[in-house]
A = this chain, B = another copy of it.
Amino acid sequence: MLISKNVRIGRIISGTGRYAALDLLICVAAFLVNEYVVSRYFVFPAVIPTILGTALAFFVGFNNNQSYDRWWEARKIWGAIVNDSRTWARQIIQYTTSSESLSEAELLSLRRIAVKRHIAFLYALKKNLRKSGVSEHDKFIDPEEFAYVEKDMNVPNAILSYQSKLVEDLYKREAIDGFQFMEMNRMVVNFCDEMGKSERIANTVFPTTYNYYTRSFIWIFIISTTMVTANSIGPWSVLFGALVGYVFLTTHSVGQALVNPFEPLPTGVPLDQITRTIEINLLQMLGETDIPEPVQSVDGEYVL
């Protein structure tokens, strides 16, 4: 998530530099082709860039809308994960009581396991979504359980099964009753839903044809703008073709930067920050004192 109000020159250049250079090159080429080839046969018709410009504004707008919607949907899903994580911890801590078959000490231990395992679930899910090689969830579950879940194709899903087993165990040992069982099970169901929704966005490729053709049509538009202006102002047309092209290329790129919101990009959903916030909240609710620091921004520019 970008947090600085102004965009740093470095980011602009790294973000749009490649396109800008290509843009300029294409415009020079378009000018030369117009000068030495096209203009010998006919005058490039001025109506073409106007029509294409309007159409492109629509298609770029469409792409950006869908990209933004994916990004915001991803953010909403992780917002829901924050909420349900707090509710999970709250219910585990407030609604469980010791019973004949469950001593106070065992109960305290089960509470810690349930809350810490949930933190493991979050880190395992983050690892999957970011296709990252780094495991952060190992320290929140015991080694045996870790070894077991790692064998599963879907690690966070395997962790959730342990949570279900724990809820059933609490129920059977009368730490909770049927009503409380329902409420806690509902949280496990929610985590499973939110996990699947995140996977859906991470694994569904935005229709590549949209992206491909929109970009192609922008290049056609740039070439035609250069050729049309070349007829009246000569080599300076390169400037205008490149300028107008830059506006469309950049707007399209800005949208594309949001289309895969779970990738570890500055424009992505800040999973590092969100998981850490939940970790802090949950450890405080457990009454722990060894609380990690919140995630810091990178150069005050973005958080991952």
Interface residues of A (CB under 8 A from B): 1-7, 15, 41-43, 45-62, 64-66, 68, 71, 75-76, 79-80, 82-83, 86-87, 90-91, 93-95, 97, 152-154, 157-158, 160-161, 164-165, 167-168, 172, 177-183, 185, 188-189, 192-193, 195-197, 199-200, 204-205, 207-213, 217, 220, 225, 228-229, 232-234, 236-237, 240, 243-244, 247-248, 250-251, 254, 257-258, 267, 280-281, 284-285
Contacts and interface: CB of A to CB of B under 8 A. Distances in A.
A233 to B, nearest CB: 4
Given A75-B204, A165-B94, A48 B244 contact: yes
A164 B95 contact: yes
The 4 closest A-B pairs by CB, nearest first: A83-B196, A42-B233, A79-B200, A178-B179
Contacts of A54: 53-54, 57
Contacts of A168: 94-95
A7 B152 CA distance: 34
A97 B267 CA distance: 48
A51 B217 contact: no
B42 A234 contact: yes
14 contacts: A5-B208, A47-B228, A47-B229, A51-B225, A52-B244, A55-B247, A61-B62, A62-B68, A87-B189, A91-B164, A177-B178, A179-B181, A179-B182, A209-B254
A113 B66 CA distance: 41
A161 B234 CA distance: 72
Given A161-B90, A164-B91, A247 B52 contact: yes
Given A240-B45, A244-B51, A7 B208 contact: yes
Nearest to A15: B209
Contacts of A61: 58-59, 61-62
Nearest to A89: B161
Nearest to A230: B45
A301 to B, nearest CB: 10
A246 to B, nearest CB: 9
A4 B66 contact: no
Contact of A57 (B55, B94, B161, B179): B55
A257 B210 CA distance: 11
A167 B90 CA distance: 12
Contact of A60 (B58, B179, B196): B58
B284 A152 contact: yes
B254 A197 contact: no
A211 to B, nearest CB: 8
